[in-house]
Structure 1
């Protein structure tokens, strides 16, 4: 028995080091979803569209996630021209934002409810991408796929400010969003 005690201690030490090495101190999230426009401050109809986002950041012991993100949001809507005709147009933004996430409750062994908040700015890139501040807040549901990876569904409220160097039209749109993504933590 005394011969096997040092080997047992080494094996237990190695298994605890392996468990610590698997713990990630960071997270990544890749998600896509839809945007439903509610109201706008201009004489445009609310715009609807879609979004793609990538976020990465620091995982604080699966209790708090803080990071940065970049997205591509495409809005389509109709507007009334000065002559009374209606025109369909597309508006793009490329927001860079801070990402904050925190779990609220464990709903089941595989499901977790949480909150999310994004705040940032979309720079103007040429005449295709509009600039302006953006913000989003909502709830998330994460369903564990494998250890450290979850299917994440988010829904909430957002606003986007639109402005351009080429057009004098500046306005804000309020919207609802739903996204689905892969969350690796």
Structure 2
């Protein structure tokens, strides 16, 4: 008689996409909304905690007031590299797990297309089991993003709410 043991992965990978909704902004910039794509990978600590690195492409669009008082539509991109932390804390059903997530990182300036600045995110997650070791992951929470560019004279920051959906393999 052979004994079957489930093989636990020592790593995790997450691929997510979602929306960003601006709440408040500093400076002359109105709050911007947009979308994000995230990829993160790292160490799985026995399905109790996940710690890794990630990269995201965040695209914001919004209106800004120019020096002459006119309004202009603005597109702002960031490419943050961040530390990723996830931890499940409640099993809601055999298929669903509630958890928490935190990201902290920095977006480097890349030419005049990508703004630099600190980024921080915190929120809750819901993982719905697809197959053993793979979840459909929903995330929602609060984020803060700084925007600075050597080509723009007015650095500013923004508070956001985000919602994402993606695949979480652990």
Partner of 1:76: 61
Displacement of 1:118 after TM fit? 0.1
- Select the residue among 6, 24, 48 that pairs with 2:9: 24
Alignment of 1:51 with 2:36, yes or no, is yes
Partner of 2:102: 117
Alignment of 1:107 with 2:92, yes or no, is yes
Partner of 1:182: 167
State the SS of the aligned residue for 2:119: strand
Alignment of 1:40 with 2:19, yes or no, is no
Report Cα offsets for 1:64-103 as digits up to 9, x if no partner: 0000000000000101111121100100000000000001
Displacement of 1:42 after TM fit? 1.0
Q: Distance in 1 between matches of 2:122 and 2:99?
A: 11
Report Cα offsets for 1:81-136 as digits up to 9, x if no partner: 11121100100000000000001100011000000000000000000000000000
Displacement of 1:43 after TM fit? 1.6
Structure 1 segments, 4+ long, off by >4 Å, are none
Q: Distance in 2 between matches of 1:168 and 1:78?
A: 17
TM-score normalised by length of structure 2: 0.98
Which structure 1 segments of 5+ residues have no match?
1-7
Q: Distance in 2 between matches of 1:118 and 1:107?
A: 24
The structure carrying a bigger strand percent of its residues is 2
Partner of 1:167: 152
The structure carrying a bigger helix percent of its residues is 1
CA RMSD of aligned residues (A): 0.8
TM-score normalised by length of structure 1: 0.90
Alignment of 1:150 with 2:135, yes or no, is yes
Which structure 2 segments of 5+ residues have no match?
none
Alignment of 1:97 with 2:85, yes or no, is no
State the SS of the aligned residue for 1:130: coil
